[in-house]
Each structure stands twice: as structure tokens, then as C-alpha cells.
A and B are shown apart, each in its own frame.
Chain A
Amino acid sequence: MGEGTAARDWSAFATPDEVSGREGVCRLELAVDGITCAACMGDIERGLMSLSGVERARLNLSTHRLSVAYDAAALPAEAVVGRVEALGYKAFPFDPARRDDSEREETKELLRSLAVAGFAMMNVMLLSVSVWSGNATDITAGTRDFLHWVSALIALPAGAYAGRPFFRSAWRALRAGRMAMDVPISLGVILTLALSLAETIRGGEEAYFDSAVMLLFFLLVGRYAERAMRRRTRAEAENLAALRAESATRIDPDGRERIVPLSEIRAGDRLVVAPGARIPVDATVESGVSEIDKSLVTGESDPERIEPGASVYGGTLNGSGALVVVASAAADKSLLATVERLMEGAMEARSQRLDLADRAARLYAPVVHSTAALTLLGWVLAGAGWHQSIVIAVSALIITCPCALGLAVPAVQVVAAGALFRSRVLLTNGSALERLAEVDMVVFDKTGTLTDPEPTALNLGDMPDDLLALAGALARRSRHPLAQALAGAGTLSAENVVEHPGEGLEGNVEGRKLRIGSPVFCAAESEAEAVLSRHPGASVIAVHADGMAPAVAAIVQALKPDAAETIAALKARGLEIAIFSGDRPGAVAAVADTLQIADRRAGLGPEAKVAALHALADDGRKVLMVGDGLNDAAALAAAHVSLSPVSGVALARAAADAVFMGNRLAPVIATLDVARSARARMTENLGFSALYNIVAIPVAVSGHVTPLIAALAMSASSIIVTLNALRARA
């Protein structure tokens, strides 16, 4: 009943192809695994194009995504995927419901705006340089007016087009009654263009078209780089999700088994769960007996035996038996829904938090805007006349423009996110860096985060070698998670294997009758007690062979290879460490003792984890939560900042601010180090911007700003801020 017999319903993953626009042409987006070099790209594309019915096959070597357009009438989707697999690659479909094209469109819009601003900046600057040098020598008023009009002709439409991302976001912020960095930026651009146009109409000397478009260009560079980095991270995360094949095998009313995207599962659907597969959604067992590994969901490391009628949570791992389950109707009362509700609440609270840049804007905007207003008032009172007063006041706004301030934070975010990307940490949220830098306490989940997801046996040395070899033969025939810990021993093979669901396995090895399973099943209760007294917190599996004394193995989830040194390194950085686990106190204590972590809390459900984190937050602690399970997802969203290993469940990855890859914990240290360095660079940049404004404001208020000085001061400050950001590589 595994994936071998179920036809994967690939056509459910296809969408109509909008590029060719013809009826019947479908597009399939696949994440392809196994691509090592450019030659693979040619192989796959050539192989697909040679199929009749394929219109277009394009492999993106940057993202390892394959896009195939094909005629659905002439060619089944299965043939397309079959061809890729025949070529020796693995292809996994993207769930169309989860693909997010809006982000891609926004990035393209930023790039278009950037191109327009760049074009305008270069051409207007060319004209401005002529005016500046002309002002110093003998330009005639007519030529200057002509050059100003040409500048206006370029800068006004370009500013209106390229400024849209800022105008939109400023408008959103104002309507929500917030102050954001985009408000002073938009105000600065609009006032600058308006003043310059007025000056041009009047035939005046001072037009700041170059400053306005240059401001837009610099800011768009920063914003585009930030967005591109986020998109790269997002794409990588989406690929990982597709490679983990988040789909389900559904039994259709006609009795056929088809693999469909998770988003197509409805309550009441009958689903097949193969041994060793993950249960796709919350469901009730209809038939089959197995045991469920709930470690990703609740943190409990002991498998739980389930029978028909039992309810199972989505995200848990099925053990040795195939199951038919019915997706629960009461989905809103499920654990998943509870976790999602908790998560939403926590995310809402997090979005109330102010980013560094917005906090700076909150200080900056009133100071600069009231300075400009006072300048206007002051010059009018001093008898300078309305026109001259307005020119000076707007010049003050221009030269104190938030350009350096607007770049100060995003430039550092881009550089730091790039550095983290190289350490295999994917940052999903730029503002997470600021929060990471403030962390003074790290809370770890136990199962799957501090420990390996797979269990290992502790006391194999106590068992006789020949018994171990016999046990290994039988264990290899089992899918029970605990049996896997014994499966490595010996090279014998077992015959006549009979499974007693929920009890163990029986079979013949080397002519001996052998049982592995629960201590009761193997008549080894007293041995089990002895082993448990030596290894409290371990799970046990017993082995019984005819003519030999029964033995009991203590099974634990082993610590990740660098767990101890990571904890030590974190402590050396002055951070407090704690474990919040859903597992039994014994199992948690064993891990906490090994790692010398004093603050340990066991048996915490999702709500309890969130409550414990809130209690810490009320004490003023800034907590970094590291977790991977469904029961951690809400805690990840509730913590000050959070990290999740890429092996975690999708919901945990979605709730975390960053995801790290590989089976090590070292990225946690790298993340904190880069974040602290980035935070220092942000503070320096903001400090520099403040300093720049302190120097520039008196010059502007006293009416000494010329367009040349404005252009030089603004670009110099932007470049200094950007160069300083490059130091955030840590």
C-alpha cells in the first residue's frame, strides 16, 4: 500500500499555462533533486523536449526548479514526471495552492522602478552638472531654464513611477495611524519635486530634480537588495517543503488511490498512510494497527500504540503498520487548529513590535519636519518674504533627507542575511536580526532539536554479541522506530517473520525462534526493570531467543553531535539556557544533565510552552526559542525571536524567524554572532545619519544650501552608510 501502488495524481499539481495561453496546455512546476552541474540541465531539458506533447521545458539552475508546459490531452502528467525520473533525477511537485507569485511580481516591480530611477538619475545628473558649472561661469538664464525644463520632463514622470513603492507604503502607514520611514521619504520626494517645478516655472536658479531622483535610486537599490535576499531564502524554503513531499494518498470513491496535494484534502476523505510515512492531517483511524511517533508533535519520545477509532494528529509519524484514516471533520477542534490559533495570536503581538528603522523614523520625522516649519516661520518673521522662506525651508527638508537613514538598516540586513545564507541559515524576516541581537536567554526544545530525530541504543555493550546479531536480523524487518536502533547489528537475515501489532516481531533466525518487542512479549520484565533503573528516562526494547537469556536494550534519542559544545559556547557568551519539552521528566532530565542545563521543564503542551515564554517575557527576558515540532510552533511565534531546524514540521518552519539546515546546532551560534555584529553596524549607521543631520540642519536653516551641496552631501552619506553595512559579515 506504499507509494509504489498509488498513482500519484500529478495532474492535480498542474495549472493552466498562461505563457502560451492556449487551451489544454498545462504547466507543471517541480523541484528537482539530484542536479549537480550544468550538464544535468541539458539532459533534463533535452529529455523532456523529445517527448511529443511537451511544449516547453525549462530548468532554472539557480533555484533547481523545473517548469514544463505540455499538452494535457496528448500527454499525461505522469509521463512528464516519469521521464525526469527515468533520467535519474527525483522530481517533486509544488502544491499550486502554496505557490506565491505575488512576491515575485513585487520584486519585478521594484526592479522596474529601479531601472527607471537609474535612467532618470543619470540623465538629470548630466543636465545638473551643466547647470552647476554654468552657474559658476556664464550660463544664460534661457539655457538654464531650458535645462531645468528638460530635467523636469524626465524627473516628474520618473519620480511618480519609481516612487510608487514608497508612496503606497507611506499611505498605508498613515491610514493605519503609524509613522514609518516611508512617510518622510515620500514627503521629501514630493516636496522636492514640487519646489523644483515651481522654481523652474518662475525661472529661478535652484532646482533639486537630481536630488529627488537620486534619493529614490539609492533607496530602491537598498529595498531591491533586501527583497531579492528574502525571495532567495523563501524559494529555498519552498524547495525544501516540496522535497519533503507534503502530499497525501487519498482513496477516491472509485477505489483508486491517488497522491494529491495537502490543500486538496477535505474532511471525510479516506487516506492511506504507508508504514514509516507521516500522517498528513488530523484524522481518525478506520483500519489498521500501528504505533505513532508523536515526537514532532508533542515532544514525547515514546511511540504510542493506535487501533481503529483512535484519533491521530497531522504531522505524526506512522510506525510499522499501514493505516487507512478518515480526515477529521472537526478540524477546528484539532491540535493543529489550536496551534495555529495560538500562533496567529503570537504573530499579531509580534507585528505590534516596532522595527529599529521605524523607531528611528518616529524620532526623525517630527524633529526634521518641525525644524523645516520653524525655518519657514523664522525667515518670514525675519522679513525674507514668502518665496525665499519656502525655498529655504524645503531645502532644509531636502538636505536632511532620510536617504542615509532609509538605507542604514536595510543595507545591513542584506549583508547579514547573505552571511547567514552562507552558514546555511535562512532568514525569513529581516527585522529578526535586531531581535536576535537582543537575546539574553536561549530556550531549546528537546526532541528533534537537541537530539537526533532517530533513536539509538545505549547499552548494546551489555548484550551478548550473538544475541545482538540475531536481534539485528529481526529488527531490520520492522518499521517500529525503536527497533531501528537495533537494526544495524549483524548481517544475518530473518525468516517466517510474523508481526504482533503493538507487541513485537517473531521470526526464525539461524534456526532459532526469536522475538523482539515489549518486555512482556519477550518475558523479560525483570531485566527491563533493571535496565530502567540504570537508564531512567530511556525507552526499552526486549530480545528473547530460544535457549538464551532475554536481554533488554535501553533506547534514547542521541544528542546532536555538537550539542554539548554549542551549549557551552552559548553559555560562554553569557546567555542563559533552558529546555522546554513535551517529553516525560525522566527523558528531559537525562538530556539536561548531560548538557548541564539547570532550567528544565518537562511535559509542556503547546499552551504551557507559550505561557512559560510569556512569563519569561514579563520578567523582561528576551528569549530565543529553538524548536522543530508542531507543539513548538506557537512557542516559536510567541518567543522574542525563534529558530527552527529545517527537519522540523512545516508549521514550525513557518513560525520561526529563521531556519537552519544540517544536523548540527552550530548555526545557532553563527546566527547570534552575525545578528550582534549586524546590530552594531545598524546602530553605527543610525548614529552616523543622526550626526550628518546635526551638521546639515544648521547649514540648511541658515539658507546656505545649493543644489550642488545637497547632491554631494546626500550621495556621500548614502555611500558611507552602505560601506559600513558591508562590515556586517561578522
Chain B
Amino acid sequence: MDILLYLIPIALFLGLLGLGAFLWSLKSGQFDDLEGARWRILSDDDIDAKGSPREDTHQD
């Protein structure tokens, strides 16, 4: 059962990673507008003609 000493901390670490990701996304306002977000992904405003990301439209 020694393997548990490795596997359980790994499992917990991965779980905490997910929790941290969720809390971060909550803090950065990603759940504030669920309606708009699904349309925003279709918009090309955030890339310029050459196809590289533009700086000024980055918002959070």
C-alpha cells in the first residue's frame, strides 16, 4: 500500500490545480457574461490582418 503515499498527494495536487483554475477564472470575471462569451469567440477583432494577436483588445 506504499504506492498510496505517492498517488494520493498526486491526486490531491491535480484536484487543487483544478480548484485553483476555477477560482482564478471566477476572479478574472469569466463568469460575468455567459451570454456574450459564446459570441465573442466568433469575433475576429482580437487579431490584426497578419493574424497575430493584437495587444489593445485584451481585456479582463
Partner among B15, B33, B56 whose Cβ is within 8 Å of the Cβ of A63:
B33
Q: Are A150 and B32 in contact (CB under 8 A)?
A: no
Q: Are B33 and A62 in contact (CB under 8 A)?
A: yes
Q: Which residues of B contact A56 (CB under 8 A)?
A: 59
Q: Which residues of A contact B47 (CB under 8 A)?
A: none
Given contacts A42-B45, A59-B36, whether A49 and B56 have CB atoms under 8 Å apart is yes
Partner among A41, A49, A154 whose Cβ is within 8 Å of the Cβ of B57:
A49
Given contacts A115-B26, A126-B11, whether A61 and B4 have CB atoms under 8 Å apart is no
Assess whether B23 is interfacial by the CB under 8 Å rule. yes
Q: Which residue of B lies closest to A61 (CB)?
A: B36
Chain B, range 17-42, C-beta contacts under 8 Å to A: 18-19, 22-23, 26, 31-36, 39-40, 42
Q: Which residues of A contact B18 (CB under 8 A)?
A: 119
Chain A residues close to B by CB (< 8 Å): 38, 41-42, 45-46, 49, 56, 58-63, 108, 111-112, 115-116, 119, 122-123, 126-127, 140, 143, 146-147, 150, 154
Q: Are B33 and A143 in contact (CB under 8 A)?
A: no
Q: Are A146 and B19 in contact (CB under 8 A)?
A: no
Partner among B19, B26, B36 whose Cβ is within 8 Å of the Cβ of A60:
B36
Kindly state the separation between the CA atoms of A184 and B38 in the bound complex, as whole angstroms: 42
Smallest distance from the beta carbon of A511 to chain B beta carbons, Å? 58
Q: Are A60 and B57 in contact (CB under 8 A)?
A: no
Kindly state the separation between the CA atoms of A60 and B56 in the bound complex, as whole angstroms: 19
Q: Which residues of A contact B1 (CB under 8 A)?
A: 140, 143
Chain B residues close to A by CB (< 8 Å): 1, 4, 8, 11-12, 15-16, 18-19, 22-23, 26, 31-36, 39-40, 42-43, 45, 56-57, 59
Interface class of chain B by DSSP: helix
Q: Which residues of A contact B36 (CB under 8 A)?
A: 38, 41, 59-62
Kindly state the separation between the CA atoms of A49 and B43 in the bound complex, as whole angstroms: 15
Q: Are A119 and B8 in contact (CB under 8 A)?
A: no
Kindly state the separation between the CA atoms of A115 and B32 in the bound complex, as whole angstroms: 16
18 A-B pairs with CB atoms under 8 Å apart are A38-B36, A41-B39, A49-B56, A49-B57, A60-B33, A61-B35, A62-B32, A62-B35, A112-B26, A115-B22, A119-B18, A122-B15, A123-B12, A126-B11, A127-B8, A140-B1, A146-B4, A150-B8
Q: Are B26 and A119 in contact (CB under 8 A)?
A: no
Partner among B19, B40, B42, B59 whose Cβ is within 8 Å of the Cβ of A119:
B19
Q: Which residues of A contact B15 (CB under 8 A)?
A: 119, 122-123
Given contacts A119-B15, A150-B8, whether A112 and B45 have CB atoms under 8 Å apart is no
New A-B pairs, 12, CB < 8 Å, besides A59-B36, A115-B26, A143-B1 = A45-B45, A60-B33, A62-B33, A62-B35, A62-B36, A115-B19, A123-B11, A123-B15, A127-B8, A146-B4, A150-B8, A154-B12
Q: Are B34 and A62 in contact (CB under 8 A)?
A: yes
Q: Which residues of B contact A58 (CB under 8 A)?
A: 59
Q: Which residue of B lies closest to A57 (CB)?
A: B59
Q: Which residues of B contact A122 (CB under 8 A)?
A: 15
Smallest distance from the beta carbon of A274 to chain B beta carbons, Å? 35
Kindly state the separation between the CA atoms of A46 and B45 in the bound complex, as whole angstroms: 8
Q: Which residues of B contact A46 (CB under 8 A)?
A: 45
Q: Which residues of B contact A140 (CB under 8 A)?
A: 1
Partner among A61, A115, A146 whose Cβ is within 8 Å of the Cβ of B23:
A115
Kindly state the separation between the CA atoms of A56 and B56 in the bound complex, as whole angstroms: 9
Kindly state the separation between the CA atoms of A147 and B23 in the bound complex, as whole angstroms: 27
Smallest distance from the beta carbon of A145 to chain B beta carbons, Å? 12
Q: Which residue of B lies closest to A108 (CB)?
A: B26
Q: Which residues of B contact A112 (CB under 8 A)?
A: 23, 26
Q: Which residues of B contact A150 (CB under 8 A)?
A: 8, 12
Q: Are A61 and B33 in contact (CB under 8 A)?
A: yes
Kindly state the separation between the CA atoms of A59 and B34 in the bound complex, as whole angstroms: 12
